[in-house]
């Protein structure tokens, strides 16, 4: 079997210029030394608080931004070299996104049929033939466990979970290899969240899709991803097999993050007693973790941790 990852980031750095105009312009390092790879049929969870740079990663991968340093390889080829119209179109077809807001990512004036038929035609995945298109749309809906009737409906007639399923059908329509899912379940109700995650799990196995699952929620990352990378202020502080990272966290920031996930079996009074001065403790860890460091240490087979600046 081919062992090249679908996508690989190698020591990617992204700087943004802030200010300018009349103000002094300054560089802000949004990503520092970010490396990870995503394989077929596997999911990598990128976990971190808002503003830590996880969505910037997705934007770099979709070629919305260009990295300041480092390389992004798609099937071994640097995406900076993808330039021709057809090449870019092919790349965009292979790498699809699912966004956080299922209410904003579908056009309210068009039916679901339109949303699924359009990518099929744009990417020439289906002949422009009414019956064939309709059959294919129904097939896609069936893949994401929606009734064929859904095709005639408008987005406002669907629930958040159903809309997110339509978005997944879109990625299947164009035959994507890699799906960048940016907080796809955070706006959904808890009881339907699992259903959507299970569908992602199935897509991963049946269609051999690679997933980059971007989230702030460790619990869902744990549920869906084989590998997890914990990000803080533009750096991946710890990464490796999900079970290893969650059950045997080494970096103080990962430990902080995991300890903050509510455990229903521990009363809050005991939680408070365990660490009376949580805020200053947390602040100390944040300060410690935010320094940019390029040294990394291997903990285990597939478990790495970034060193701390002293």
Interface positions with other proteins (CB under 8 A): 49-50, 189-191, 193-194, 216, 218-220, 222-223, 243-244, 246-248, 250-252, 256-269, 271-272, 278-279, 282, 291, 293, 295, 297, 299-300, 303, 305-310
Indicate the residue among 74 and 239 with the shorter CB distance to other proteins. 239
Residue whose CB is less far from other proteins, 14 or 306: 306
CB of 109 to other proteins, least distance (A): 23
Q: How far is the CB of 234 from other proteins (least distance, A)?
A: 16
4/259 with CB nearer other proteins: 259
Closest by CA position to 52, among listed 183, 243, 178, 194: 183
Kindly tell me which of 124 and 298 has the beta carbon lying closer to other proteins: 298
CB of 216 to other proteins, least distance (A): 5
Nearest to 231 by CA among 50, 19, 76, 11: 50
Cβ 145 to other proteins, closest distance in Å?
Answer: 17
Chain-centroid distance, C-alpha 126: 28
Count, residues in the chain: 310
Nearer to other proteins, 135 or 198 (CB): 198
Diameter of the chain by CA atoms? 67
Of the candidates 73, 212, 292, which has an alpha carbon nearest to the alpha carbon of residue 82?
73
Residues linked to residue 31 through DSSP beta bridges, in sequence order: 14
Phi-psi region of 30 (alpha: psi -120 to 50; beta: other; left: phi over 0): alpha
Backbone angles phi, psi at 256, to 5 degrees: -60, -45
Measured in degrees and rounded to the nearest 5, phi and psi for residue 131 equal -65, -40
CB of 185 closer than 8 Å to CB of 193: yes
Task: Quote the least distance from Cβ 152 to other proteins, whole Å.
Answer: 22
Minimum CB separation from other proteins for residue 198, in Å? 11
Q: Which is nearer to other proteins, 112 or 245 (CB)?
A: 245
């Amino acid at each position: 079997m081919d062992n090249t990852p679908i996508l690989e980031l190698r020591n990617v750095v992204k700087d943004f210029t802030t200010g300018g105009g009349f103000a002094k312009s300054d560089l802000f390092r949004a990503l520092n030394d970010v490396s990870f790879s995503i394989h077929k049929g596997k999911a990598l969870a990128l976990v971190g608080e808002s503003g830590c740079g996880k969505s910037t990663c997705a934007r770099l991968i979709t070629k919305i931004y260009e990295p300041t340093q480092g390389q992004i390889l798609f099937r071994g080829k640097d995406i900076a070299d993808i330039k021709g119209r057809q090449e870019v179109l092919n790349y965009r077809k292979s790498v699809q996104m699912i966004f956080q807001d299922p209410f904003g990512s579908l056009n309210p004036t068009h039916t679901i049929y339109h949303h699924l038929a359009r990518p099929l035609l744009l990417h020439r995945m289906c002949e422009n033939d009414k019956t064939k298109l309709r059959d294919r749309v129904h097939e896609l809906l069936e893949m994401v466990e929606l009734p064929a009737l859904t095709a005639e409906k408008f987005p406002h007639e669907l629930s958040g979970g159903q809309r997110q399923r339509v978005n997944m059908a879109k990625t299947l329509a164009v035959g994507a290899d890699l799906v960048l899912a940016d907080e796809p379940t955070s706006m959904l109700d808890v009881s339907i969240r699992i259903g959507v995650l299970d569908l992602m799990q199935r897509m991963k196995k049946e269609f051999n899709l690679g997933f980059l699952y971007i989230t702030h929620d460790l619990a869902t990352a744990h549920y869906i991803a084989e590998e997890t990378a914990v990000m803080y202020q533009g750096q991946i502080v710890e990464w490796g097999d999900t079970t290893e990272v969650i059950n045997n966290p080494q970096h103080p920031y990962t430990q902080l993050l995991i300890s903050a996930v509510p455990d229903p079996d521990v009363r809050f009074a005991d939680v408070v007693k365990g660490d009376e001065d949580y805020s200053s403790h947390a602040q100390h860890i944040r300060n410690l973790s935010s320094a940019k460091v390029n040294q990394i240490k291997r903990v285990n087979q597939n478990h790495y941790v970034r060193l701390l600046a002293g």
